[in-house]
Structure 1
């Protein structure tokens, strides 16, 4: 734990105390607090706290003028397996480090993000913390949107890369975190606990506020782009990551900060830097993906049009609400430069068609016999349907990671509800008169108005009866074959269908992508279930299963989902092991399956898997396997131990044994 501190009173005390009181235990934590030349008593307070905590080590140094200096001092002295940076303005949740370290240990990840909570209105990231992610990466999650240093880093990664913070007063943390992300073997996200609390100081003395000008940011901004280019080859992956910096470090400061600078500094000192960044790093694919205001700025930067950039930046707030024009199925932002021949800006810079929000709700999802009936509402923001003959909303079914045509089901309008619709899915006939293929199907809405079409994932916003997912339903195909359809909500809350309980269809192991060979409780951690197996002839073993995305999924009866990534053994054997932290599951019944390439494989209960017990927050919990012939997948019942009831049972047994002895 590294805590940089400069004139940090009075917030410092709570910050350091939150580190000292971590449930991980003082014997497992090394706290290095670096007093960066403070003059307000920060150094004395650190020494006072150190006298009460042997784990706290205080370093005093001359003022470096930035947060990176004391952080680097701490890194030079750190000896633990992991490093966590705690700013002296902020504080930790009591169980934060234990949860993050456990996540890193169990999944072999190099960076762990703990959920960030706001104190006093300071902005915090939210998208990445929608659900726990035991193992992910920056390309398939929202992790890269948060580049603050308040994360758990594996120290061997930092030392291997020789990472240190540059001596900038602002934006010094972003290149450091970006480099760690781009080289990490994996990223974990703890989303079910408030790990880190960010706040502004009472005197508003945070560096993010006192060093907010472009003079303090421009070097860090340039280094962000150079860091990405250093570790990623040109192509889609680099463009995906660069887009974040184009939006946040290029266009954002141009709009918000450039107009505040003097005319001379803006023209001669800062504009050339942003112009060169746009010309060097912003590719055409990035331009196509960013929003219209950013597209306009990038176009003007590339064209070396300083006056127009300044005009657009100064009018950004007013121009954002200027409305739009629908023309031939496309929607354009009515900025003053739009179709002004003197401005000479292409229409593509103002096209907002693919950015228009779609407001949609899933109201109900219920079975009617063998037909799944969905009701909901959907409309494109700002675009009203004016032609009754125009095709309306359609439901689109797309098979997960499968190269096959999508299925479209027309929705029937609900005259009594604005933008309301009803759609019915008959799994036995919906695919052109034939049953849905076995597998996982994701549901989308194709919403249309005035020739404009927007397609969105469906189910993430729902109300009323749809809050509980419909039960699994056995459907009979036209050939008389029974097929089980399981509606479920994904971790992001969207509606999907598991048709045929895919795992059950693969009764022959030669057809299944993988085979389970072991289920057992971890010897040292009683609340961790180990599921082992191997890839079979039903899946290519090239690269020891690399790229298969094999995951062990636990799904509760309420629709909650917990997934962990499997690890493959070296070589090309295809042997894998997945470790499920059952101790973190909520009380209830959880069914286990393996997901590989969009296919689901049953996890059977092999041998005689016994129950297990562990302590959670000082309370005993248990998990025991539940197996039924009608549901061959392994299911676990997780619940707290009813201590009082157990004591009463033992007392009754003791009395019964005593009576039996007396009766002899």
Structure 2
């Protein structure tokens, strides 16, 4: 699904506006939770160092209109930006766009250069993105940007704002936020001086010392590792290319994800992307806990908002539809390789975490099946090995079940996580003993158990022998109680050379592996057999770590002649590969 449509957006005229157009249109997006902050937000616009005639303010009111006696913009703002800002009343400097108001015809596209009294725009972006050589990694929550709330009420009003805006640039701001006094002046100057079509502005208190905001740069490549995590619309956009390419907000997906798709297309179509990290451009405008949001560090974790919304009726399918729309934009503008992988990683690590999380477990069965099928399509289309390797192990495990089409397996993993707080990435060696398989012949039988369900369906050789020998037969079967997988390994005694051999089991899934641990109290076991005419003692016992020690020691008269030679030596040859049944 594309984030753009030409409907309602006029073609760029041959004669763009004159010099009377404002430099920047600020679109203030209002949600119900932001009502009490709208006055302070508009006051921060009134206090900008840029001249008032260079600003146009459109209030995109996607929430219900204020009731009588509710919050209203302050008189200070009215004096600085003339006009009546009461809802529904158009004004010279501030226009309130209620959700019910039909879209207006858009004015002509603005000139891409400043008025004659200002500095000219710089030359277009040169070269294009350079593929990244670093390994993909999903950043921790501490390095991500502020919340990108999942809501569905305001995309239509944002499209009205796009249609009515007259400024050369667009800047989107939430009504619950404030702007630094020099914010608009710095943003417009940076875009004009360096020819950037998109300018990312630092947010106060958002971990700005790391990631994409580590320093100011006026040419940031699209494969910059932190850029895919900055997909909110809280940026400065040059309006001319938005009009030329007909960018609009999709109105059939939640607003937060429609904004991601919009920002992605703007980035991919831009001549240049700049990052300004030398000033705090945006601030949280409402002190204390905000309605509908958790206080403290979780308040800036957008996954909290996504998870809460996914738990609402229809929320999980809305999230899937919006994620698919955003990923489709990336797929349209990138081919296989690091650039597209970086953006796909962001969506699997962020939205994919919620789509395959507890909300799926709680969803009604028809919804669960539809969401699982949709996520499986996203995995088939966009989840390459490089993306998978960049995800946390527990999410890799979930997506491995999605890739295998095993919905029951994924639900079993989620139930285990709900009960234990960790993914079921563990295997326990339960027993090891010698089984007689003929006259003086023995086979070592090792049994293990893992809470991972349907292990055999996840890949070729999901369980492997480590150490020497690797010969043996591995059988996988569903646990008798229906929870997890039982593993049985059979190794002929003849496969072990004389001396000491250390063996173990590892479970290997796509991008995820772990060693089996020996269960406490596992006892040493002993047997006797022949090799040719010579008798041998066979021992197996825990090695004190995550494996077993097998010793094959000759017994009888000949042993005395070799008393100086220690039988405990590590033998490194491998009789052959393990066989699966």
Normalising by structure 1, we get a TM-score of: 0.46
Q: Deviations over 1:214-234 (max 9, x none)?
A: 133121111011111111123
Match of 2:96 among 58, 73, 76: 58
Match of 1:35 in 2: 61
1:143 corresponds to which of 227, 246, 254: 227
What per-residue deviation string (whole Å, max 9, x for no partner) do you get for residues 607-639 of structure 1? xxxxxxxxxxxxxxxxxxxxxxxxxxxxxxxxx
| Cross-structure match for 1:20 | 46
**Which residue in 2 is equivalent to 1:293?**
394
Which of 234, 238, 241 in structure 2 is aligned with 1:154? Answer: 238
In the other structure, the counterpart of 2:265 is: 179
Q: Find out whether 1:225 has 2:327 as its counterpart.
A: yes
Larger Rg: 2
Whole-angstrom distance in 1 between the partners of 2:514 and 2:202: 32
Q: Is the 8 A contact 1:71 1:165 kept in 2?
A: yes
In structure 1, the residue corresponding to 2:60 is in which secondary structure? strand
* Alpha-carbon distance between aligned partners in 2 of 1:195 and 1:349, rounded to the nearest angstrom: 40
Is the strand fraction higher in 1 or 2?
1
Structure 1 residue 32, shift from structure 2 partner: 1.0
2:164 corresponds to: 77
Task: Name the SS for the 2:97 alignment partner.
Answer: strand
1:50–1:56 contact (8 Å) kept in structure 2: no
Residue 89 of structure 1 is matched in structure 2 by 176
Question: Following TM superposition, by how much is the alpha carbon of 1:288 offset from its aligned partner in structure 2, in angstroms?
Answer: 3.4
1:309 aligns with 2:410: yes
CA distance in 2, matches of 1:149, 1:304: 35
1:193 deviates by 1.4
Separation of aligned partners in 2, 1:48 and 1:74: 23
Q: 1:279 to 1:79 in 2, by over 3 A?
A: same
Give the conservation status (yes or no) of the 8 Å contact 1:104–1:112: yes
Aligned-partner SS, 1:3? strand
Check whether the contact 1:251–1:297 (CA below 8 A) recurs between aligned residues: no
Secondary structure of the equivalent of 1:304? coil
| Counterparts of 2:415 and 2:326, CA distance in 1 | 25
Q: Which residue of 1 aligns with 2:349?
A: 247
Q: Measured at CA, do residues 44 and 73 of structure 1 come closer, stay the same or move farther in structure 2, by a change above 3 Å?
A: farther
Q: SS where residue 181 of structure 2 aligns? A: coil
Asked if the contact 1:50–1:58 (Cα under 8 Å) also holds between the matched residues in 2, the reply is no
Distance in 2 between residues matched to 1:87 and 1:194, nearest whole Å: 16
CA distance in 2, matches of 1:263, 1:138: 40
Report the Cα distance in structure 2 between the residues aligned to 1:165 and 1:199, rounded to whole angstroms. Answer: 25
Q: Specify every segment of 5 or more residues in structure 1 that has no aligned partner in the other structure, as ranges.
A: 326-333, 354-664
- The answer to whether the 8 A contact 2:225-2:342 is kept is no
Corresponding residue SS for 1:194 = coil
Q: Which structure is higher in RCO with an 8 Å CA cutoff and minimum separation 6?
A: 2
| Coordinate RMSD, CA, aligned | 3.5
Q: Mapping of 1:622-641 within 5 angstroms?
A: none
Which secondary structure state, in structure 1, belongs to the residue aligned with residue 174 of structure 2? coil
Query: TM-score scaled to structure 2, two decimals?
Result: 0.53
C-alpha displacement of 1:275 = 1.1
Q: 2-side partners of 1:163 and 1:125: how far apart?
A: 32
CA distance in 2, matches of 1:266, 1:219: 14
TM-fit CA distance, 1:67: 2.2
Q: CA deviation at 1:263?
A: 3.7
How far the C-alpha of 1:298 sits from its partner, in A, is: 2.0
Measure, in 1, the Cα distance between the counterparts of 2:514 and 2:162.
46
Q: 1:392-413, CA deviations, whole angstroms, 9 ceiling, x for partnerless residues? A: xxxxxxxxxxxxxxxxxxxxxx
